Amino acid sequence: MRVAHGRIRVVTNERFETLDITGRVQGWLESINGRSGIVTVYVPHTTATIAVNEAEPGLLNDIVDLLKQLTMPGSTRWKHNRIDNNAHAHLSNILVGHSAVIPVMDGRLVLGTWQRIIFIEMDGPRNRSVHLTFIGE
């Protein structure tokens, strides 16, 4: 049993953007030769978030639209917007979460047919990073 840490850089170009980072997480797993255990995919940010779902372009659009719809209407009353105009992005992170935990077997992420690891930018463009931790064998 062992622990391995890694970090991948994510550059976003729009205020709202989704990026499929599955290949990069799988690539990192292979680079450290993780065979069996779990990987945590952790976003050290408060205005971006991470999900595991289908990377169908229409759906990626819908995800951002849903988060806007839930967190932006009435946003003039968010107190955080007196300081910074991004309460919607913080609130989206609260709803979707800051991390994903994914099992690993035989050196592969255990993903269902349609599952992809999706980084969701809600306050870009920014230079972001994703912290990866493998625990296992």
Q: Are 78 and 89 in contact (CB under 8 A)?
A: no
Closer CB to a copy of itself, 23 or 44, in the complex? 44
The footprint of a copy of itself on residues 66-95 (CB under 8 A) is 66, 69-71, 74, 77-80, 82-83, 87, 90-91, 93-95
- Tell me the closest approach of the beta carbon of residue 65 to a copy of itself, in angstroms: 8
Q: Are 132 and 39 in contact (CB under 8 A)?
A: yes
Closer CB to a copy of itself, 4 or 15, in the complex? 4
Per CB under 8 A, the list member of 9, 58, 76, 127 interacting with a copy of itself is 58
d(CA 35, CA 29): 8
Burial class (CB within 10 angstroms; exposed 0-12, middle 13-18, buried 19+) of 52: middle
Q: Are 17 and 121 in contact (CB under 8 A)?
A: yes
Query: What one-letter code names the amino acid at 45?
Result: H
Closest C-alpha among 137, 133, 136 to residue 25: 133
CB atoms closer than 10 angstroms to residue 60: 20
Residue 103 makes contact with a copy of itself by CB under 8 A: yes
- Residue 85 sits at φ, ψ, to 5 deg, of -90, 50
Binding mask of the shown chain, residues 14 to 33, with x at each position contacting a copy of itself by CB under 8 A: --------------------
Per CB under 8 A, the list member of 22, 45, 121, 124 interacting with a copy of itself is 45
- Tell me the closest approach of the beta carbon of residue 13 to a copy of itself, in angstroms: 20
Binding site for a copy of itself (CB under 8 A): 1-3, 5, 36-38, 40, 42-46, 51-54, 56-59, 61-63, 65-66, 69-71, 74, 77-80, 82-83, 87, 90-91, 93-103, 105, 110-112, 114-115, 131, 133, 135-137
